[in-house]
C-alpha cells in the first residue's frame, strides 16, 4: 500500500518537537507503515528525520518559525486561512498530484484544515488517521478512543438519541515507541504533573492534593506558575522521562473529556501509576486499581495518592507495552487499511474465501475476519520476564 502523509506547518518532523502530539503521531505513523513494508510519502517542513520513502518539503524553516508567531510551538494557531496553512496545503496538493497512483491513501491529522486535500483528490480515500480533536470531515476516520468517538457522534447529531454509528470509522488508540520511556521500579517520594498549565488540565487538583498530604510535587509545562511544589517549566524529553520514571505517580486530572491523553500512557510505559479523572479516554487507558486510579472527588484523589505505592510497576509497564506499542498498533492499522481496500471490490460484503469455508465448517479462526482487535500482536515482553525474571529483563530494557 502507498500512503501520502501530511504533517503540520509549525513543526518539523524531527525529534525536536516532542510536545506536539500531532507531530509525534505523524512521525510514529510513518515508522509503523514503513516497518510493515509500505511506501510512505511525507509532506512536512524543511527538516525531517522520520523514516519514509520520500520526504517532500512543503515549508521552509523560516516559514515554520513564522507560523509559531513568537509562541511556543504547542500554542500555534490552527486556522486554515493563515498563510502557512495555505502554503502547506497548496504545496502538499501539488506534491501529491505528481506522485499519486490509483488506490493510494491520503492521510491527514488536523481535521477541516486539511479538507482541501480531500477535495483535490475526490477519487482517492482521505483518512483522518488519529482523531483526538473536534472538527473531523473525512469519510474514513480513525478515532483515538471510543469515548471521543461517541462524544463527537453525539455532538454532530445534536440530539444524542439520533446518533448513528459509521461502518468505516475505527478506534485505534494512541501509540508510542516504548523504548523512549525508561523503566524504574524503585520510585522516589514525589508526584509529577506535566502539561499545559490551564485550569481545564486540572493541575490545581494535583497542587491541592499534594499540599493536603504534605507531599512533594514537581510541575512541568507552560502557563501559570503554580503556588505549591517545584516548577521546572518546559522540559526536554530526557528531563520528562527522568521525572516521570521516578515519580510515585503522575497526575492527569483533566477536567474536559480527554480524547486520549498521551501523558497517562507515557507514564505507564515508565512503570509509573496514573491518578486521573474518571471520564473520557482514561476509562479505556487506566485500569482502576491496576495501572492507576480514576477519581471523582477530592477524597478519591487523596486516597489514590496514598495507595499508588502498592501498585506493581512491572504490571503497569506491561499494560502499556501490550496495548500501545508501535508493534501492536501497527497491526491494527494494517487490518483497517486492508478493510478499506475492500471498498474497491465488494466492500462491506467482502469475504475471504478460505475463511468463508472455515465458517461453513464451524471453525472460525482468530484472524482479521473476526475483528482487528484479534490481530496477532508483536510481543515485546519476553517470556523470561513473564515467568518472573523481572529484574534481569528490566535492566536489559
Quickly count helices (H) and strands (E) in the chain: 15, 13
| Domains delineated in the chain | 2-171 (3.40.50.2000), 178-321 (3.40.50.2000)
Nearest alpha-carbon partner for 326 in 27, 42, 104: 27
CA atoms within 13 A on the CB side of 326: 18
pLDDT for 371: 47
* Other CB atoms within 10 Å distance of the CB of residue 86: 15
Biggest CA-to-CA distance, the chain: 68
3-state secondary structure of 78: coil
> pTM value?
0.86
Give the pLDDT of the chain (397 residues) as one tens digit per residue: 999 999 999 999 998 888 888 999 999 999 999 999 999 999 999 999 999 999 999 999 998 888 888 888 877 888 889 999 999 999 999 999 999 999 999 999 999 999 999 999 999 999 999 999 999 999 999 999 999 999 999 999 988 899 999 999 999 999 999 889 999 999 999 999 999 899 999 999 999 999 999 999 999 998 888 999 999 998 988 999 999 999 999 999 999 999 999 999 999 999 999 999 999 999 999 999 999 999 999 999 999 999 999 999 999 999 999 999 999 999 999 999 999 999 999 889 988 775 566 556 655 444 444 444 444 444 333 333 333 433 333 333 3
User: The cell 488536523 sits on which residue?
Assistant: 110
User: The cell 470509522 sits on which residue?
Assistant: 169
pLDDT for 18: 84
Amino acid at each position: 500500500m502507498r500512503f501520502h502523509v501530511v504533517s503540520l506547518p509549525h513543526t518539523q518532523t524531527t525529534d525536536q518537537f516532542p510536545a506536539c502530539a500531532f507531530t509525534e503521531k505523524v512521525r510514529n505513523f510513518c515508522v509503523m507503515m514503513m516497518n510493515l513494508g509500505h511506501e510512505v510519502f511525507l509532506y512536512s517542513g524543511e527538516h525531517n528525520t522520520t523514516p519514509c520513502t520520500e520526504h517532500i518539503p512543503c515549508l521552509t524553516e523560516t516559514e515554520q518559525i513564522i507560523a509559531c508567531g513568537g509562541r511556543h510551538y504547542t500554542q500555534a494557531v490552527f486556522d486554515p486561512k493563515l498563510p502557512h496553512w495555505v502554503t502547506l496545503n497548496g504545496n502538499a496538493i501539488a506534491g501529491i498530484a505528481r506522485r499519486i497512483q490509483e488506490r493510494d491513501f491520503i492521510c491527514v491529522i488536523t481535521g477541516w484544515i486539511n479538507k482541501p486535500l480531500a477535495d483535490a483528490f475526490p477519487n482517492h480515500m482521505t483518512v483522518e488517521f488519529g482523531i483526538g480533536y473536534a472538527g473531523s470531515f473525512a469519510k474514513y476516520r480513525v478515532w483515538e478512543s471510543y469515548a471521543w468517538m461517541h462524544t463527537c457522534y453525539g455532538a454532530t447529531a445534536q440530539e444524542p438519541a439520533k446518533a448513528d454509528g459509521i461502518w468505516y470509522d475505527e478506534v485505534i488508540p494512541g501509540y508510542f515507541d516504548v523504548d523512549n520511556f525508561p523503566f524504574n521500579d524503585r520510585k522516589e517520594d514525589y508526584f509529577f504533573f506535566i502539561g499545559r498549565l490551564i485550569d481545564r488540565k486540572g493541575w490545581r487538583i494535583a497542587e491541592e492534593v499534594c499540599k493536603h498530604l504534605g507531599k512533594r510535587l514537581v510541575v512541568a509545562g507552560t502557563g501559570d506558575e503554580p503556588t505549591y511544589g517545584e516548577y521546572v517549566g518546559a522540559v526536554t524529553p530526557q528531563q520528562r522521562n527522568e521525572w516521570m520514571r521516578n515519580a510515585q505517580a503522575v497526575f492527569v486530572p483533566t477536567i474536559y473529556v480527554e480524547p486520549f491523553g498521551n501523558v497517562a500512557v507515557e507514564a505507564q510505559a515508565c512503570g509509573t501509576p496514573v491518578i486521573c479523572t474518571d471520564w473520557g479516554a482514561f476509562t479505556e487507558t487506566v485500569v482502576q486499581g491496576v495501572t492507576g486510579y480514576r477519581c471523582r472527588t477530592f477524597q478519591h484523589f487523596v486516597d489514590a495518592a496514598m495507595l499508588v505505592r502498592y501498585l506493581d510497576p512491572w504490571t503497569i509497564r506491561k499494560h502499556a507495552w501490550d496495548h500501545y506499542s508501535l508493534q501492536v498498533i501497527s497491526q491494527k492499522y494494517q487490518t483497517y487499511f486492508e478493510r478499506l481496500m475492500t471498498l474497491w471490490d465488494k466492500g462491506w460484503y467482502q469475504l475471504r474465501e478460505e475463511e468463508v469455508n472455515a465458517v461453513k465448517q464451524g471453525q472460525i479462526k482468530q484472524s482479521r475476519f473476526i475483528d482487528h482487535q484479534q490481530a496477532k500482536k508483536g510481543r515485546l515482553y519476553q517470556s523470561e520476564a513473564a515467568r518472573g525474571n523481572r529484574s534481569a529483563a528490566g535492566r536489559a530494557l
